[in-house]
A and B are shown apart, each in its own frame.
Chain A
């Protein structure tokens, strides 16, 4: 591996994918996976702040036990808007469509995704879907939650559900096309020598995610169409008035939406595997096991949807079977966690910004993951379902896990995407603020849930003793908001003022760091790629200690000499 001298001055290359064409059309009609990733980054961030605004209003309302700020209807619309935007327009596309789009083709040595035009179509479907959903909010909002349970969504609610569902249908096809694209790319576009067991884990994770998307998303898409037909034309498939089965909707919804939680977390786990290995300067422990556990999670994830419905007319036998299967799915997740920890063990850990996000991820994912079996065990779930315990659980996974992974990955690949370094000081600070704010926001919700506070209520005058926890949570949310806003500023500033990163600022392995410039060329590589090295070959890098020193702020040996 060719190693540049550490700490040396770098220049931004003259021609790269960002300045290869300056017109608006060159962006909006681009077929370059890297430019499409940037488009996704902008649109996904926008939706994140829309969803965050709704969350802020939800938290504001809950500071008082009397629900003084909003009516029940308004509150229903607020948490529905929050859930819908965050799930379908932020967290599902965030890692695959931004980081995956950017890094996956380069990581396997391809010049682009298999179908660049389809990739652009995915983005347009996403944008049109998002605009339709936002329109439905402006025209009156949606009050059935992000889960759209029938018969509330099909018969009783008279809000803008049909329009919103049309938007979600389009967003669904956006992710299906991304999934098809990734599958074909990973199968057929790998460079010579890039065998399946040399693939970086980020690629494995996106591949497994794509399988889930292609198998699961069409099911929820057609289910939502059935709800639209029921609302607009008065068809009756889930209608209890006709002897139909409204719970069937829940089965079909969760058949997708449980695997969807793995659509959210698997790519983030892939990011973590990359980062943990790079910043421990050590080969990823148990490469094969991590790869198999990724695929196992994707497969078993399809068999556990019933754990969302222990109390909606499932038989006891069904409950027990789903309960056991749910407990099994915790195993591969645990395997991954052990492997990350063992990678760090005896590694030389460097506390860069991405690595702090990784440590945050591991801690929070652990809590989120370990509360899963509580909810998966029927006897325990009797008490916990429908309470804030569930809300805390899934936020530990989705916000504490997936978003930490996304931000960690963004900070890791940012120098590659834009060619410049951001401020390490502000980066580390934001990672810390996010971690602290997160715990203040969501840990009290575990206690609230344990005490019995129901979710989706906007008052709790019957239990004013809950107020202190709610205020803690809302205060934490403000800290969290600051943590999320900070990167907007210092990352943007880095685009102008950041010092040129050079091809491989982290001393990482992988084709994207060693065979391309930062930012990469439009066609990614200047040479023909043939892969010979095993993945995560950090043990073969001689100057690991120097990287460690550099990111720890200590002067390096050769720097001392020049002084």
Chain B
């Protein structure tokens, strides 16, 4: 029970009531975060399973459907996310070294990358609404001005785009949650909130962000780089 009553040292991390030592508290938080990430893996895992089954079932056609996706934009976003992960890793390191200023800058950089990611996503998605490639009732295949051959059955194309929008959509949602989490982290760190007295919150947000990045590392080749 390190910090209780009058003897609160602002430089010492606070040990919450339910823990005995700071080490126990820190390890517990990490075990919890990893367990949660297991859940996330299973959630995306289910979608990857669906994808694999349909990709295998409609082998030839998936190539034609994917030609409407821009590998250039997707590739740019991949680089962008990789860079953001690098910044996040630096942020965690800076926190562990108690370099508060550097931590803030790296976190801010991560958020900027996250917004760039969303902007590029929007650049990719918005035309798809105009070209009726969003798999709602108004879905239309082949597109009016196809980038590729426009071949393949319209029904299977709808399945492909359902997968594309569900999976990148869920990933995009995670990016948004990431932005919110990092923002809260920064504000609370700035305000020296009671919940944030050691590097663990940053480490947890960092783990989450690397996971989001990792999902995209799989999504990019599966949707944008399908071989003939």
- The yes or no answer to B7 lying at the interface (CB within 8 A) is no
Interface residues of A in 300-350 (CB under 8 A from B): none
Taking a contact as CB atoms under 8 Å apart, the answer to whether A214 and B28 are in contact is no
Taking a contact as CB atoms under 8 Å apart, the answer to whether B32 and A237 are in contact is no
Known: A234-B136, A248-B50. A218 touches B159 (CB 8 A): no
Instruction: List 21 interface pairs A-B (beta carbons < 8 Å), by A numbering.
Output: A110-B18, A115-B32, A176-B39, A180-B36, A180-B39, A183-B32, A214-B38, A214-B39, A214-B42, A215-B39, A216-B42, A218-B43, A219-B45, A222-B43, A222-B47, A234-B136, A237-B162, A239-B159, A241-B155, A252-B46, A252-B50
Cα distance, A242 to B162, chains bound together (Å): 11
Q: Which chain A residues lie closer than 8 Å to B220 at the CB level?
A: none
Q: How many residues of B contact A (CB 8 A)?
A: 39
Task: Give 1 or 0 for each of A223-256: 1 = CB within 8 Å of chain B CB.
Answer: 1011001000111110101111100100010010
Taking a contact as CB atoms under 8 Å apart, the answer to whether B28 and A184 are in contact is yes
- The yes or no answer to B166 lying at the interface (CB within 8 A) is yes
Taking a contact as CB atoms under 8 Å apart, the answer to whether B32 and A234 are in contact is no
Main secondary structure of the interface of B (DSSP, over half): helix
Known: A111-B17, A187-B31. A245 touches B53 (CB 8 A): yes
Cα distance, A223 to B54, chains bound together (Å): 16
| Residue from A179, A235, A237 within 8 A of B35 (CB atoms) | A179
Extra contacts besides A236-B159, A236-B162 (13): CB < 8 Å: A112-B17, A114-B31, A176-B39, A180-B36, A185-B28, A188-B31, A218-B46, A219-B46, A222-B44, A222-B47, A222-B170, A226-B166, A235-B135
Cα distance, A225 to B169, chains bound together (Å): 12
Closest approach, in angstroms, between the C-beta of A207 and any C-beta of chain B?
A: 11
- The yes or no answer to B131 lying at the interface (CB within 8 A) is no
Task: Give 1 or 0 for each of B45-67: 1 = CB within 8 Å of chain A CB.
Answer: 11101100110011000000000
Taking a contact as CB atoms under 8 Å apart, the answer to whether B135 and A236 are in contact is yes
Q: Which chain A residues lie closer than 8 Å to B6 at the CB level?
A: none
- The yes or no answer to A456 lying at the interface (CB within 8 A) is no
Q: How large is the interface on A (under 10, 10 to 19, 20 to 34, 35 or more residues)?
A: 35 or more
Taking a contact as CB atoms under 8 Å apart, the answer to whether A218 and B39 are in contact is yes
Taking a contact as CB atoms under 8 Å apart, the answer to whether A113 and B163 are in contact is no
Taking a contact as CB atoms under 8 Å apart, the answer to whether A184 and B32 are in contact is yes
Taking a contact as CB atoms under 8 Å apart, the answer to whether B28 and A114 are in contact is yes
Taking a contact as CB atoms under 8 Å apart, the answer to whether B28 and A189 are in contact is yes
Q: Which chain B residues lie closer than 8 Å to A455 at the CB level?
A: none
- The yes or no answer to B121 lying at the interface (CB within 8 A) is no
| Residue from B24, B42, B50, B137 within 8 A of A237 (CB atoms) | B50
Q: Which chain B residues lie closer than 8 Å to A162 at the CB level?
A: none
Taking a contact as CB atoms under 8 Å apart, the answer to whether B155 and A243 are in contact is yes
Cα distance, A44 to B81, chains bound together (Å): 44
Taking a contact as CB atoms under 8 Å apart, the answer to whether B35 and A183 are in contact is yes
Known: A112-B17, A113-B18, A215-B42. A180 touches B159 (CB 8 A): no
